[in-house]
Amino acid sequence: MIVCPNCNHQNPDGAVQCEACYTPLPAIVSCPSCGAAVQADASFCGQCGFNLKSVTSSSSISSMSDPQESFAPDPIVPDPLVSPDPIALPTEPDPVIPAPSVPNSQTQLQQFAARLLNLQTNAVVEIPPGLSVIHLGKPNDRIPPDIDLSGFPGSEIVSRIHADIRVEGDSYYIEDVGSSNGTYINNAPLPMGNRHRLRPGDRIALGKGDKVSFLFQM
């Protein structure tokens, strides 16, 4: 589906204008990294997190350069009449003895620990370790949240079952699971069913208006 850039209404694939506000909709293109369908005005691919703006900037730079001005350097051809210096004999490097390492399991765990920094209160929320799926939301009878957002200012816009963070190896992905007010990554809406690979510094907003937002940190 195509998200309207004006009112964030989710329109069916192939639509040329928003069903809600009649704003012209952006075209759908393929991600150059994974091939997933993304909107032409998107900054990042919702499937693999590829920076789509980097493709535009690199294309403009390459179009400005003149290919006729680039020349490969001439290869260096050794002179057959000049013999190598008989004195300069190859020597073997001294063996490198590695320093003994002291295992520190606590340091290794802290290196891969992930957390969310709430931008409204500067409160730090640690992502629970050992879970492959972390549920974000508020207390409910169906899927209790692993990260309870009910105590944060503006949490009235957060759905009880809002979003999931999935852990695959050392990678973290976030996806909206049908929230009422949507999930935004770096100010761009994340369509339901798509997932975004989180990188340190990504801004996560749960709901419209950026009232409940976090920075992803590792």
Alpha-carbon Rg of the chain, whole angstroms? 26
In a domain, 13, yes or no: yes
Closest CA to 174 of 44, 70, 54: 44
Predicted confidence (pLDDT) per residue in 17-37, tens digit:
777 777 776 777 777 777 777
In the chain, how many domains are there? Answer: 2
In a domain, 91, yes or no: no
Rounded CA gap, 190 and 3, in Å?
9
* Token pair for 53: 């703006």
Residue 172's pLDDT is what?
A: 97
In a domain, 19, yes or no: yes
Predicted confidence (pLDDT) per residue in 38-75, tens digit:
777 777 776 777 776 766 554 443 443 444 444 455 55
In a domain, 70, yes or no: no
In the numeric block, the tokens 């200012």 are attached to 153
Mean pLDDT for all residues in the chain:
78
pLDDT of residue 11 exceeding 90: no
Domain identity same for 51 and 119: no
Contact 116, 127 (CB under 8 A): yes
| 15: containing domain | 1-62
pLDDT of residue 106 exceeding 50: no
What single-letter amino acid sits at 138? K
Rounded CA gap, 195 and 171, in Å?
12
108 — pLDDT class (breaks 50, 70, 90): very low
In a domain, 83, yes or no: no
